[in-house]
Amino acid sequence: MIPVKGYAGEKVAVLGLGRSGLATARALVAGGATPLLWDDSPEARAKAEAEGFTLTDLGRAGALEGVACLITSPGIPHLYPAPNKIIARALEAGVPVDNDIGLFFRSFSTSDWDNFETMPRVVCVTGSNGKSTTTALIHHILEVAGRPTQMAGNIGKGVLSIDPARDGEVVVLELSSYQTELARALTPDVAVFTNLSPDHLDRHNGMGGYYAAKRRLFSEGGPDRAVVGVDELEGRFMANQLGMGPQDDRVIRISSGQKLDQFGWSVFARKGFLAEWRKGRQVASIDLREVAGLPGAHNHQNACAAYAACRALGIAPKLIEGAFQSFAGLPHRSQLVLERNGVRFINDSKATNVDSAAKALQAFPAVRWIAGGMGKDGGIAALQPHLGAVVKAYLIGHSARDFALQLGQTPHEICETMERAVARAAEEAQAGEVVLLAPAAASFDQYPNFEKRGEDFVARVRAL
């Protein structure tokens, strides 16, 4: 646990008692603060009470009087489309609003560091797609290289639940736009921006707000090294803003598809090969084509991001290459479930939007595609240019019929349930094809989250 600094003897309100909220409450107590806890969910409140915490209804009049700070969970809106009523009262009263990420950065360093030979470092990963894979891959490389490391944030533990840093340790954090937008302290040593595509637009009032939330990690965080994906305009703009010129190697540009040989430091993948260039010459190359845990161009971009971050930490290319080979990938993200009669079954339940589904579809030459769920604005119309590899689509969930109308000439079948979709796809699949779950939709019509949806797919496949 990371005891929270700066609030000893003071009252700190905590709104939202999920994983991060309860971890925050424990860390506040460890730091000498008095947490005032609330959640609208009776189940969440009961869980907090079972741990011995006293609840305080933060919605009642005067509940925020004398409170030094309000800590809110990521899922609770604080600005758009409208702030939660308790957060709105804090804003009106001038009570500082923060989150566990802000508390982490103000509390992570300790006096023990004075005796360390190598200062601990923090790597933060943000972006629209690939954050989790990139974070897990960096963590895996560090483990293979023998570096002490912990992984937290949007993946693994809550940030305040990790152990105090050891000598030379690297903490790797996955951060969402909800987290970077609000944190009052952001001081990563290495910050990674993977890519940007439309998502959470209601929460950020459009693409401009969404991009601004991600950008805070770099503009306000001031990392020593910035790893920036430049395959979209926003990434190119960010790299330009952060650097003092094309040869400024504090910015490491990454790409999947572009050759970037004119910059001070760049890492890019083309035709399955990763290349590192520094000051006009190539210094390393890795063949990614046979790396089973990183299939497709989108995962090659993740590999570039992780490679660049680890090179910024001083890890040798050969060590990174070996770690790539032993990386098993993450559940629900291009996860190979099994191969049966020459047919591979791939679980990419995390592909909840059009952009991530497009990347998954482009990773394989012949696809039996399981898609559907709670569709997002625009449905799957934007996927039309990426359906060339789709042999047939098997549509499930609330948006199955809407998706069917947007598929044009692509063969499809409305299956409604995962059970039927897996059975039909397996029945019709031929050797060399891939049965791919890449829903391009949220899961909430049939499942509580994308993990449960992926687990159902895995269970149905293994039961064949």
Residue 256 is labelled as binding a ligand: no
Residue 229 is labelled as binding a ligand: no
Residue 271 is labelled as binding a ligand: no
Residue 127 is labelled as binding a ligand: yes
Contacts of 240 (CB under 8 A, 6+ apart): none
**Helix, strand, coil % in the chain, rounded to nearest 5:** 35, 25, 40
Read off φ and ψ for residue 153, nearest 5 degrees.
Answer: 100, -125
Residue 131 is labelled as binding a ligand: yes
Q: How far apart are CA 374 and CA 202, in angstroms?
A: 16
Neighbour order of strands in the sheet with 97-98:
34-38, 11-15, 67-72, 97-98
- Residue 370 bridge partners (DSSP): 394, 437
Q: Residue 191: which of 105, 270, 108 has the closest Cα?
A: 105
Contacts of 450 (CB under 8 A, 6+ apart): 332, 349, 350, 352, 439, 442, 443
- Burial (CB count within 10 angstroms: exposed 0-12, middle 13-18, buried 19+), residue 184: middle
In the block, which residue shows the tokens 């009052």?
184
DSSP class of residue 359 equals H
Give counts: helices (H), strands (E), the chain. Answer: 15, 19
User: What is the 3-class SS of 103-156, one letter each residue?
Assistant: HHHHHCCCHHHHHCCCCCEEEEEECCCCHHHHHHHHHHHHHHCCCCEEEEECCC
> Measured between alpha carbons, how far apart are the two ends of the chain, in Å?
43
- Residues counted in the chain: 464
Q: At what angle do helices 450-462 and 418-428 cross, to 10 degrees?
A: 40
Contacts of 178 (CB under 8 A, 6+ apart): 74, 75, 200, 203, 213
Q: How far apart are CA 297 and CA 57, in angstroms?
A: 49
Q: How far apart are CA 138 and CA 89, in angstroms?
A: 40
Q: How far apart are CA 312 and CA 326, in angstroms?
A: 21
Q: Residue 2: which of 185, 265, 196 has the closest Cα?
A: 185
What's the Rg (C-alpha) of the chain?
23
Side-chain half-sphere exposure of 135, counting CA atoms within 13 A = 27
List the binding residues.
Answer: 127-133
Annotated binding residues for ATP, written as ranges, equal: 127-133
